[in-house]
Amino acid sequence: MKEFDILLAIARRKKVIDQGSDWSNGSNTYLTEIKNEIEEVIDEIPKNRSCYLEEELGDVLWDYLNILINLEKESGINVDSVLKRTCNKYEERISGVENGESWQDIKVRQKVALENEQSLFKNT
């Protein structure tokens, strides 16, 4: 989806601006902002104003991307890895449900796999 890639590139440019700003406190700034934006989404839903709701949902996405970008530096996560993990996780869940598995059983299996991955990481 090219718009997502464009937005991610814009957010990366914003990270450069934030580094020279006293407004930003890294991911904590955007974690606070995303909470506020979610409240605005919740407030907007019953108003049935789709253009306003789309704007607020876009703000949630914007803040989420900025959280990811800031956590790349702060915690060493990788945005591409987050996206890949998310695609794999939900592809497995949806495919599993389509093939008769329960969502909960799939989640349990995924949690065990994640715990195993983390324990391998800790031991290296």
Distance CA 79, CA 110 (A): 20
Domain ranges in the chain are 1-77, 78-124
What's the rounded Cα separation, in Å, for the pair 115 and 35?
Answer: 28
Question: Which of 122, 34, 27, 13 is closest to 71 using CA atoms?
Answer: 27
Q: Please state the pTM of the whole predicted model.
A: 0.87
Express each pLDDT in 6-45 by its tens digit: 999 999 999 999 988 888 899 999 999 999 999 999 999 9
How far is residue 69's CA from residue 64's CA, in Å, rounded to a whole number? 9
pLDDT in tens, 61-114: 999 999 999 999 999 999 999 999 999 999 999 999 999 999 999 999 999 999
For the domain spanning 1-77, the CATH number is 1.10.287
Task: Please tell me what DSSP assigns to residue 124.
Answer: -
Token pair recorded at residue 16: 């450069």
Nearest to 105 by CA among 97, 114, 116, 117: 97
Burial call 44-58: b when 16+ CB within 10 Å, e when fewer: beeeeeeeebeebee
